[in-house]
Amino acid sequence: MDDKQKDREIRKFRYIIHAEQNALTFRCREIKPDERSMIFVTKCPCDECVPLIKGAGIKQIY
What residue ranges do the domains of the chain occupy? 35-62
pLDDT digits (tens, 9 = 90+) for 19-39: 999 888 887 777 776 776 888
Q: Which of 9, 20, 35, 48 is catalytic?
A: 20
Between 47 and 36, whose confidence is greater?
47
Alpha helices in 1-62 (DSSP H): 4-11, 19-27, 49-55
CB 23 within 8 A of CB 9: no
Strand boundaries in 1-62, DSSP class E: 38-39, 60-61
Provide mean pLDDT across the span 30-51.
84
The whole model's pTM is what? 0.65
pLDDT-above-70 percentage for the chain? 73
Q: Is 9 a catalytic residue?
A: no
